[in-house]
Amino acid sequence: MAEVDVRKMSLFKLGWPIFVQCLLSLCLGYIDMLMITGYDENAVSGIGQANQILGFLTLAFTIISSAAGVMIAQYIGAKLEDKLNEIYTVSIFFNLILSGVISFILLAGCDFILKIMQTPGFMLTDSKDYMMIVGGFMFVQAIIDVFSQIFRNNGKTKFGMLIVLSMNIINIVGNYIFLFGPLKHLNLGVKGVALSTTISRVIALVIAILLFKYKIEGSISIKCLWPFPKEILKKLLKLGIPTAGENISYNIAQIIILIMVNTFDSDVVSNTKTFAQMVSNFAYLYSVSAAVATSIIVGHAVGANEYDYAYSRVMKSLKKALLISVGIAIINWMVSPITIGFFTKNSEIIKLSSKVLFICIFLEIGRTANLVIINSMRAAGDVKFPTYLGMASMWGVAVLFGYIFAIVLNMGLAGIWIAMAMDEILRGIVVYIRWKKGGWRNKRVIEE
């Protein structure tokens, strides 16, 4: 049971730990790439390629973890806390099995996956080493994802921040030990970085378990699985499959786009995509934190049947998120010669990155609207519409026009980014109209 009424919490109080958590989560991957730069510049792209594949596979875990977040928020909002232990246990149990299967597939088919991705030869070995080690322990991240949703939707957003902070500290220390410290003589390189990342996640999971045991009113027990709560799993899948479907569709589209980039067979283009994407990711950090914080409030409000309150909170969050995230995107573009210069001194990469980051200013407008509104729609139980819209727009706009602009019209990487901006803006307009008209109302998962 939540100790405070989450609906009455300020967006700042809920959101600032999420902002820090998102920032630290980005840093976790970037630290690996930044620290390996001195070892081998091409290894950066190898890790970047592996992370995109691993990031796609981990989306399978959101089938349950994201749905668990919606159900937890709505059940607490409706003051039906008696079902929470079943939700917690089923979510952990299901994600553990699913992640085990995915890890096996990844280990058995790593070479095939990299071949399908048309991974350039210069990054093939590094990508494989990173994927095999980090991917073999994906079950750890799968369980951490569930705990993160439990903490957030109980109003304990600081817990997720503390977990990711511990992961970063341990990862930095581990990277230093393997690359520059006592174990540098082993010359593990990317393998050492992957080991450090894995160790940090294992320790973070232990911390998450302890926080749940001593700070959350609830329990995870095998007893909750007998008799098996079929209705809970059914609701989780009903919510989670469409929710994960939109994310999976987006990432498949991104993989197709990555394949387009790889067909250029240019280290300038490949490295520009990696570096520009790293920098542009910081532009939407505020939007992500505001979107997640708002969705928690919306879930509790919808659980309590307070739809008008949920509507007004989303509109206020959207205005602030647009102003700040677009502002950051503009700053990103202006200082790009300096920020990209941290990773490379290649003038071609710096010039192309600046062009891509200028396009990101317009992309950010649509992406911010999508993040804030779609997360709130999901929290309200409206999960199918964003999935159908996302699939249609990603493939009909981002992938199709990405191919036309980049390959047919020979616009290169800039053409791909223009197509992605068009996709985000189109979806942003459509979901804004749906939120205004109230198509998300009366879709909560709790029966009257």
Mean local confidence (pLDDT), 77-82? 87
Tens digit of each residue's pLDDT (9 = 90 or more) over 414-423: 999 999 999 9
Which phi and psi angles does 31 have, rounded to 5°? -60, -40
Mean local confidence (pLDDT), 364-388? 94
The answer to whether residue 158 scores a pLDDT higher than 80 is yes
Mean local confidence (pLDDT), 64-75? 94
- What is the model's pLDDT at position 1? 44
Confidence band (pLDDT; 50, 70, 90) for 371?
Answer: very high
Confidence band (pLDDT; 50, 70, 90) for 427?
Answer: very high
- What is the model's pLDDT at position 448? 58
Alpha-carbon distance of 230 to 367, in angstroms, equals: 36
Tens digit of each residue's pLDDT (9 = 90 or more) over 314-369: 999 999 999 999 999 999 999 999 988 888 888 889 999 999 999 999 999 999 99
Q: Where are the domains of the chain?
A: 1-256, 264-442
Report pTM: 0.84
Mean local confidence (pLDDT), 273-288? 82
Tens digit of each residue's pLDDT (9 = 90 or more) over 85-114: 999 999 999 999 999 999 998 888 888 988
CB 344 within 8 A of CB 337: no
Widest Cα–Cα separation across the chain? 65
CB 33 within 8 A of CB 47: yes
- What is the model's pLDDT at position 3? 56
What percent of the chain has pLDDT above 90?
60
- What is the model's pLDDT at position 289? 92
Computed on alpha carbons and rounded to an integer, the radius of gyration of the chain in Å comes to 21
C-beta atoms surrounding 408 within 10 Å: 10
- 441 Cβ contact list (under 8 Å, min separation 6): 307, 380
Alpha-carbon distance of 232 to 83, in angstroms, equals: 9
Mean of pLDDT over the chain: 89
Task: Kindly list the distances between the CA atom of residue 354 and the CA atoms of 115, 359, 377, 401, 405, in Å, as whole numbers in the listed order.
Answer: 30, 9, 34, 21, 18
The answer to whether residue 4 scores a pLDDT higher than 80 is no
- What is the model's pLDDT at position 57? 83
Mean local confidence (pLDDT), 198-227? 94
- What is the model's pLDDT at position 201? 95
- What is the model's pLDDT at position 2? 45
Q: Which of 288, 248, 281, 279 is nearest to 369 (CA)?
A: 288
